[in-house]
């Protein structure tokens, strides 16, 4: 005959709903029928005592939730970890539980007061698997479970709760004596469900429906072959009883009003687990990261927190030193906790993208060989647009060809053994390469951003803000000023554009810019060249007369005729040289011997002989064309602007002009701080730009 389970309960003499700290309590303030609550509690207590040894702790006036004894502590192997309640309303319960446990010879292990942990509510021992299921994300923190694992020397399996209604793990998850788990899947995030599925075989899993979960059917207590629960459907009852136990429905409606029932009312005192096998790493991973920059005014700290939480982790700010003056940087050290090593590996790259560095003695980057051509090892480090250093043989090496979404290939000179690192696209990887894997030994340098006020600020604005007309005027003037300075120092400006530039009458302005030396490379698709040439040959763009704005009869065929003429001439340059094309963007490029790359797409008519239909080659030529660019003007081509943005390293000024703010936001998402978004008509933008340049440099434009 197995020993009876041993429980602690607290009488509901002072139970009521006096505050709202979970969604169940909302609207139920002081609506508890105390007499009924007492009756329900007594009924449950009497039934439980038939098969369990139940001790009772005296309630305390003013602590209405003390009745939910499960939250007071975790008791395991004769040791007790008292709760650290998240809400101040419940904090005074702790000394009462702690004192009772100490008086009854439990060894007390306290957690720091800042690390929330709500006892068995969020820590369910599972002796059949020798693990402690640990809920976090609403009340208890993940750090707490890492500490509990170490304090009690047990293996914890953290599960992230994502539905505020199931604020404690025991409201949506319980384990029967035979190892059957009754749980409500929607209360967990995806990685947590995978953990449950990995540890609990299908025949031991009972998923509760939403209706059952809301009846608190997962909040069970088992004793003497009976499973006590508030209420459930007959279907769920049958499934539970199939495991060989009896379901004892125990109406606890007055406690359900505040979000608790059977499981919450008892604290199990006689659970034990063995230490995990030696060498098995604790599942909860912790790292400290350092981050410096304009953390407050650029909202970087919020992004750090979001990045951690979105990937299932949690954080604790260990230190924060704010910059005192406007130009000072702030510094912070943050402890990041993740439920598994794999999740930590998902969190860290996101933090590094924000400029964080893993704080630990410096280690070399881990290098892994490429085993399949054109692919990287599973956990390869994927690059950002920011300058990146890699630590190899104790030396920091700056990565060449910086771009986003690449792997870092490390090569060593056979004679000197000096290592170099460079970004390499997945498709270019081969089996003789080794690439950087994981996140150790990598430093990402986020450039300092100008923090000047006033007009400079407007110069920095991103796509998020839709520019007003006056703002456009100011912004364009500043762009013009910057372009003139780049030109003066013989820098490089690249234009990326689509056919909208032609449709909106921007051709003559763009042509003027090219002829005045403001464009050093030109990127686009088939269409921009086709419509530019159509405009020259027929005066139309997509069949619309550009001077009168009306559709010309038969005009819809003009673009295909233009393509045909260029194909017959053997390409754009030949057509220009033969005098077939007499004006426009392409003519100005050819005249000025300015390199252009036209990248093909599935939509392309023709295509023009110049259009590269081999996209890998087109990407390569684009990348070549933007090498060394100081500024890239991205004018109304989502496809080509985003394509170019992805291959551009940080530090290059990106000016994105589009009528649709979403395109600008998309570009800004790559994290560049040098992006300027101008939401306006591209034809007007170009006209204004030329005017501003004329005002600045009348002799040149
Ligand atoms: P795209 O959708 O990538 O970009 C067009 C962008 O222009 C959009 O972001 C849109 O918001 C913006 N826009 C629209 N009106 C604007 C205005 N008045 N001012 C500022 N921005 C404005 O399309 P795309 O670059 O035109 O074409 C995608 C691909 O299809 C290209 O490779 C192109 O060459 C090809 N294409 C080929 C043909 C052809 O061969 N005949 C015709 C059309 C497109």
With a 6 Å cutoff on the Cβ, whether 504 touches ligand 1 is yes
Residue 366: exposure state from Cβ atoms within 10 A (0-12, 13-18, ≥19): middle
Pocket test of ligand 1: the residue of 525, 602, 666 to mutate, having most ligand atoms within 8 Å of its CB, is 525
Whether pLDDT at 352 is above 80: yes
With a 6 Å cutoff on the Cβ, whether 541 touches ligand 1 is no
Distance in Å, CA 581 to ligand 1 centroid: 23
Alpha helices in 311-390 (DSSP H): 341-353
Residue 636 alpha carbon, nearest atom of ligand 1: 7
Average the pLDDT over 504-509 and give the result.
96
Highest mean pLDDT among 339-353, 474-488, 521-535: 521-535
- pTM for this prediction: 0.57
Helices (H) and strands (E) in the chain, counts: 23, 35
Residue with tokens 């009976």: 226
Give the integer Cα–Cα distance in Å for 169 and 137.
10
Alpha helices in 499-607 (DSSP H): 500-503, 507-515, 526-538, 558-569, 572-577, 585-591
Q: Whose CA is nearest to atom 5 of ligand 1?
A: 637
Give the integer Cα–Cα distance in Å for 267 and 260.
13
With a 6 Å cutoff on the Cβ, whether 498 touches ligand 1 is yes
Q: Which helix (H) or strand (E) holds 522?
A: strand 521-525
In this prediction, residue 285 carries a pLDDT of 85
With a 6 Å cutoff on the Cβ, whether 250 touches ligand 1 is no
In this prediction, residue 292 carries a pLDDT of 85
Average the pLDDT over 651-680 and give the result.
80
pLDDT band at 657 (very low <50, low <70, confident <90, very high): very high
Quick one: which of 337, 400, 410, 418 has its CA closest to 380?
A: 410
High-pLDDT (> 90) share of the chain, %: 67
Structure tokens that stand for 316 in this block: 């604790």
With a 6 Å cutoff on the Cβ, whether 681 touches ligand 1 is yes
Longest dimension (CA), the chain: 103
Query: What is the distance of C-alpha 543 from the center of its chain?
Result: 45
Task: Express each pLDDT in 131-165 by its tens digit.
Answer: 999 999 999 999 899 889 988 999 999 999 999 99
With a 6 Å cutoff on the Cβ, whether 677 touches ligand 1 is no
Quick one: which of 202, 226, 210, 229 has its CA closest to 218?
A: 229
Distance in Å, CA 499 to ligand 1 centroid: 6
Give the integer Cα–Cα distance in Å for 13 and 337.
40
In this prediction, residue 279 carries a pLDDT of 59
Q: Whose CA is nearest to atom 16 of ligand 1?
A: 659
Whether pLDDT at 123 is above 80: yes
Pocket test of ligand 1: the residue of 509, 659, 684 to mutate, having most ligand atoms within 8 Å of its CB, is 659
Mean pLDDT of the chain: 90
Quick one: which of 484, 453, 459, 483 has its CA closest to 471?
A: 459
Distance in Å, CA 682 to ligand 1 centroid: 11
Q: Whose CA is nearest to atom 9 of ligand 1?
A: 638
Q: Which helix (H) or strand (E) holds 443?
A: strand 442-444
User: For strand 181-183 and strand 205-207, is the pairing parallel, antiparallel, or unpaired?
Assistant: parallel
Quick one: which of 334, 342, 267 has its CA closest to 300?
A: 334
Quick one: which of 14, 9, 121, 140 has its CA closest to 71?
A: 121
Give the integer Cα–Cα distance in Å for 339 and 337.
7
Whether pLDDT at 362 is above 80: no
Distance in Å, CA 498 to ligand 1 centroid: 5
84, 52 contact by CB (below 8 A) = no
So which residues are the catalytic ones?
Answer: 168, 264
With a 6 Å cutoff on the Cβ, whether 638 touches ligand 1 is yes
With a 6 Å cutoff on the Cβ, whether 299 touches ligand 1 is no
Task: Pick 358 or 232 by higher pLDDT.
Answer: 232
pLDDT band at 208 (very low <50, low <70, confident <90, very high): very high
Q: Which helix (H) or strand (E) holds 192?
A: helix 190-199
With a 6 Å cutoff on the Cβ, whether 658 touches ligand 1 is yes
pLDDT band at 406 (very low <50, low <70, confident <90, very high): very high
> Could you say which DSSP state residue 180 is in?
-
Pocket test of ligand 1: the residue of 546, 658, 664, 680 to mutate, having most ligand atoms within 8 Å of its CB, is 658
Degrees to nearest 5, angle at CA 206 with 203 and 210: 155
Residue with tokens 């260990």: 318
């Amino acid at each position: 005959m197995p020993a009876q389970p041993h429980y602690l309960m607290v009488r509901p003499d002072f139970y009521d709903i006096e505050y709202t700290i979970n969604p169940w309590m909302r609207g139920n303030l002081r609506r508890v029928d105390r007499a009924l609550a007492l009756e329900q509690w007594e009924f449950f207590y009497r039934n439980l005592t038939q098969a369990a040894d139940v001790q009772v702790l005296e309630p305390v006036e003013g602590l209405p939730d003390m009745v939910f004894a499960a939250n007071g502590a975790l008791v395991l192997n004769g040791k007790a970890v008292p709760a650290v309640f998240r809400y101040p309303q419940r904090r005074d319960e702790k000394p009462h539980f702690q004192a009772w446990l100490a008086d009854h010879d439990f060894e007390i292990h306290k957690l720091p007061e800042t690390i929330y942990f709500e006892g068995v509510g969020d820590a369910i021992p599972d002796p059949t698997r020798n693990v402690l299921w640990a809920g976090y994300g609403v009340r208890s923190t993940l750090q707490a479970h890492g500490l509990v694992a170490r304090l009690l020397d047990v293996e914890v399996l953290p599960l992230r709760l994502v539905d505020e209604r199931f604020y404690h793990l025991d409201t949506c998850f319980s384990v029967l004596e035979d190892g059957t788990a009754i749980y409500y899947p929607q209360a967990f995030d995806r990685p947590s469900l995978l953990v449950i599925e990995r540890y609990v075989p299908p025949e031991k899993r009972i998923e509760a429906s939403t209706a059952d979960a809301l009846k608190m059917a997962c909040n069970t207590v088992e004793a003497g072959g009976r499973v006590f629960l508030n209420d459930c459907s007959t279907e769920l009852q049958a499934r539970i009883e199939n495991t060989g136990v009896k379901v004892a429905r125990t109406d606890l409606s007055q406690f359900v009003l505040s979000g608790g029932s059977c499981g919450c009312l008892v604290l199990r005192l006689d659970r034990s687990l063995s230490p995990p096998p030696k060498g098995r790493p604790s599942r909860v991973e912790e790292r400290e990261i350092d981050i410096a920059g304009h953390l407050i005014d650029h909202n970087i700290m919020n992004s750090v927190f979001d990045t951690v939480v979105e990937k299932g982790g949690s954080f604790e700010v260990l230190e924060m030193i704010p910059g005192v003056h406007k130009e000072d940087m702030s510094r912070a050290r943050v402890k990041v906790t993740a439920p598994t090593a794999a999740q930590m590996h998902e969190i860290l790259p996101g933090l590094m993208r924000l400029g964080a560095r893993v704080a630990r003695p410096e280690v070399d980057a881990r290098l892994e060989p490429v085993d399949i051509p054109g692919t990287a090892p599973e956990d390869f480090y994927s690059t950002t647009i920011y300058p990146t250093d890699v630590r190899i043989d104790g030396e920091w090496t700056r990565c060449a060809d910086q771009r986003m979404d690449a792997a870092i290939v490390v090569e060593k000179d056979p004679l000197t053994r000096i290592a170099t690192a460079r970004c390499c696209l997945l498709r270019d990887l081969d089996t003789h390469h080794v690439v950087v894997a994981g996140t150790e030994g990598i430093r990402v340098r986020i450039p300092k951003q100008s923090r000047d006020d006033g007009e400079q600020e407007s110069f920095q604005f991103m796509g998020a803000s839709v520019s007003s007309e006056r703002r456009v005027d100011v912004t364009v003037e500043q762009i013009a000023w910057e372009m003139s300075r780049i030109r003066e120092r013989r820098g490089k400006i690249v234009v990326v554009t689509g056919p909208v530039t032609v449709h909106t009458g921007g051709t003559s302005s763009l042509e003027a810019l090219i002829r005045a030396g403001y464009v050093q490379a030109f990127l686009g698709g088939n269409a921009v060249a086709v419509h530019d040439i159509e405009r020259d040959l027929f005066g139309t763009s997509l069949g619309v007369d550009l001077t009168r704005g009306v559709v010309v009869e038969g005009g819809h065929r003009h673009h295909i005729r233009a393509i045909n003429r260029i194909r017959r001439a053997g390409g754009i340059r030949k057509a220009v040289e033969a005098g077939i094309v007499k004006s426009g963007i392409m003519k100005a490029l050819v005249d000025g011997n300015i390199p252009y790359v036209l990248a093909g797409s599935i939509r392309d008519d023709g295509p023009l002989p110049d259009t590269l239909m081999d996209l890998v080659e087109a990407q390569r030529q684009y990348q070549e064309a933007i090498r060394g660019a100081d500024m890239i003007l991205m004018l109304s081509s989502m496809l080509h602007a985003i394509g170019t943005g992805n291959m551009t390293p940080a530090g290059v000024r990106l000016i994105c002009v589009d009528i649709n703010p979403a395109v600008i936001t998309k570009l800004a998402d790559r994290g560049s701080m040098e992006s300027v978004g101008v939401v306006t008509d591209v034809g007007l933008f170009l006209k204004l730009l030329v005017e501003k340049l004329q005002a600045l440099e009348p002799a040149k434009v």
